[in-house]
Amino acid sequence: MPITNSKLYSRHGLWSLFLICALPLHLWTIILALRDFSWVAERTNAWDAIGVLSYGMVFALIESLMIFLVIALLGFLVPRRWSYDQRIALMSALLLITALWAMIGQLYFLLDLSLPETVISFLGRSRHPLRVLYVASLGMVLPTVLYPAYLILGSNRAFRFMQGLTERLSLLASFYLFLDFAGLVILVIRNL
């Protein structure tokens, strides 16, 4: 595995990282906005429903930029001895895993799920149920973040897998940027 002291990020790497940031945010926005589409169309009309979707895409783009900035800055915490490709792969993995957890957190409400009765009664008996819940969540999330990080930095195979995945997902995310552009045009038309 190459260990280098070269610059922190390449231009191509930053672009890939941005696309990876954009991917889950746009995907989630599209899924939920399409869920809302018929509700809005029935309440007002199809043009308004397209409007809601368009604003959603533009807001997702803005959030993507903000998250990208935060993730890129977090990359500075990664020791310089790791190559910028590894840095991108690592940050991409962290981003995708946390996004997945955020989606699972929302799916809990979307699918109208509830915690098992035993867990609820355990929390009820606890003096600090919220703290217990947070610690339990952290206990679940942390290994799913740390283990892939360890693999990417320690195994050439895992690193290559992540690099390949990043490239393929970036292609999909580029398509979402096209939708952003369309959303932006619709937004301008609606505000003329």
Partner 1 sequence: MKGNLDRREFLKLAGLASLSHALPRFVMAPGTPQPSPGKKNILLVVFDALSSNNIPFYGYPRQTMPNLAELADRAVVYHNHFAAGNFTTPGTASLLTGTLPWTHRAFNYNGTVDGSYLSRNIFHAFQDHYRLAYSHNPLVNTLFDQFLADLDDYIPRETLFLANDGLIQALFKRDEDIASLSWTRTIKRKEEGYAYSLYLSRLYEGYRESKIANLKPLFPRGLPNISGDNYFLLEQAIDSIGGQLSAIPQPFFAYIHFLPPHFPYKTHRDFYGRFANDGFKPVQKPVDLFTQEKSPDNLLKWRTWYDEYILYADREFGRLFNILESSGRLENTWILFTSDHGEMFERGISGHTTPVLHQPVIRIPLLIFEPGRQVGTQVYTPTSAIDVLPTLLHLSGQEIPDWVEGLVLPPFTQTGPALERSLYALQARNNGKYAPLSQASSMLLKGRHKIVYYFGYDQLGEKGNRVELYDLEADPEELDDLYASQPGTGTQLLDELKSKLAEVDRPYL
- Give the footprint of partner 1 on this chain (CB under 8 A): 24-25, 28-29, 32-33, 36, 40, 42-45, 48, 51-56, 59-60, 63, 66-67, 99, 102-103, 106-110, 187, 190-192
Closer CB to partner 1, residue 33 or residue 88?
A: 33
Residue tagged 């979402």 (tokens): 176
Closer to partner 1 by CB, 86 or 173: give it: 173
CB of 105 to partner 1, least distance (A): 9
DSSP letters of 31-96?
Answer: HHHHHHHHHHHHHS-HHHHHHHHHHHHHHHHHHHHHHHHHHHHHGGGS-TTB-HHHHHHHHHHHHH
H helices of 75-155, in order, are 84-110, 117-125, 129-154
Question: Of 23 and 83, which CB lies nearer to partner 1 in the complex structure?
Answer: 23
CB of 51 to partner 1, least distance (A): 4
Nearer residue to partner 1 within complex by CB, 29 or 83? 29
Residue 57: closest CA among 84, 27, 95:
27
Q: How far is the CB of 113 from partner 1 (least distance, A)?
A: 10
Minimum separation from the CB atom of position 172 to partner 1 (A): 17
Residues 6+ away with beta carbon under 8 Å from 48: 40, 41
